[in-house]
Amino acid sequence: MSVIKPPRLRPGARIGVISPAGPVEESELQAGLENLTLAGFEIRLASHVYARKEYLAGGDEGRLADLHAMFRDRQIDAIFCTRGGYGTLRLLQKVDYPMIRKNPKILMGYSDITALLLAVHKKTGLVTFHGPTVRDLASGGAEDLRRLLQPLQKNHPLRLTLGERSALIPGRAQGPLIGGNLTMLCHLLGTPFFPSLTGRILFLEDRGEPLYRIDRMITHLRLSGRVEGIAGIALGRFEECGEDTALHELFRERFLDLQVPVATGLPVGHGESNSILPLGLSAELDTERMTLTIASVTNEKKG
């Protein structure tokens, strides 16, 4: 399926806000919404954005209706998710993918939202965006937010600098970028929503998983056979997952036989910095320069 770049985020764009996963309180979003407004964007909240049904942001029907409504509404330029948590897996079989392909626009989130980002990209070809949720936008101010959102607003290459001395396996790789939360990626194995990894640069992040669980998930990926033929691997933050030294040794051990470059230090995931990455666009991983470079990520014109 051909890749579709969404229109770029222009000054004064209208951003639709949805809660496709866990519930969120109004107070948790206030600062993030204010920062988006101060940065020059209009905000439209989905009908069920503050709904709650135990650990979900309301029933599946309401969360799915909000997703569809935001894609159908031609006045909405981008869709940001309020938070992760759990819930997007429950929606995937009922998403109207043909409708989304006809109405391409920016869709952004991370953590549990990884499942939705990967499914939409797999079924429609639309480039989706791994990046902060609205709840994360509370820190900093409007100027910090403008810098964060530049990949969505400027039609030029994006270059991220990786951490120093973070090349576990040196080399250079090129290929479409794919990935996100390791746990969610593993949950998609064996479903029609798992993306092809052949020839791609895979990036991973996670939070709150002890070392043996990280090992188990990586081993699960390896046993599935879906990692064979991958071009390279870039590792983001693994917050509260144990000591970095042990994590890095685990990744090196489990991926060494693939004979592809593996680097840590990608500034994405749960933590203070969560850079925006486009799923599905060509990228270059270079462990000599310690960079991940991506071509321009959006279309110049709407439609």
The CATH number covering residue 219 comes to: 3.50.30.60
CA torsion angle 272 276 279 280 (round to 10): -140
Residue 200 lies in a domain: yes
Residue 191 lies in a domain: yes
The pLDDT of residue 303: 46
- Predicted confidence (pLDDT) per residue in 111-133, tens digit: 999 999 999 999 999 999 999 99
Task: Judge if 96 and 216 occupy the same domain.
Answer: no
Q: Is pLDDT of 141 > 70? A: no
Residues 107-111: what's their mean pLDDT?
97
Q: Which residue, 106, 130, 153, sits at the end of a domain?
A: 153
Residue 125 lies in a domain: yes
Residue 216 lies in a domain: yes
* E strand or H helix at 286: strand 282-286
The pLDDT of residue 246: 95
Residue 5 lies in a domain: no
Q: Is pLDDT of 140 > 80? A: no
CATH code for position 142: 3.40.50.10740
Q: Is pLDDT of 301 > 70? A: no
**Which has more pLDDT, 73 or 11?**
73
Residues 195-199: what's their mean pLDDT?
96
291-294 sheet: strands from edge to edge: 158-161, 291-294, 282-286, 172-181, 201-207, 232-239, 262-263, 167-169
Task: Judge if 164 and 84 occupy the same domain.
Answer: no
Residue 3 lies in a domain: no
Q: Which residue, 105, 135, 153, sits at the end of a domain?
A: 153
Residues with catalytic annotation?
A: 111, 205, 270
Question: For residue 300, what pLDDT band results from cuts at 50, 70 and 90?
Answer: low
Task: Judge if 147 and 167 occupy the same domain.
Answer: no
The pLDDT of residue 280: 95
- Predicted confidence (pLDDT) per residue in 30-60, tens digit: 999 999 999 899 999 999 999 999 999 999 9
Boundaries of domain holding 249: 158-294
Average pLDDT of the chain is: 93
Q: Which residue, 108, 138, 153, sits at the end of a domain?
A: 153
Q: Is pLDDT of 302 > 60? A: no
- Predicted confidence (pLDDT) per residue in 255-286, tens digit: 999 999 999 999 999 987 889 999 999 999 99
Q: How many structural domains does the chain have?
A: 2
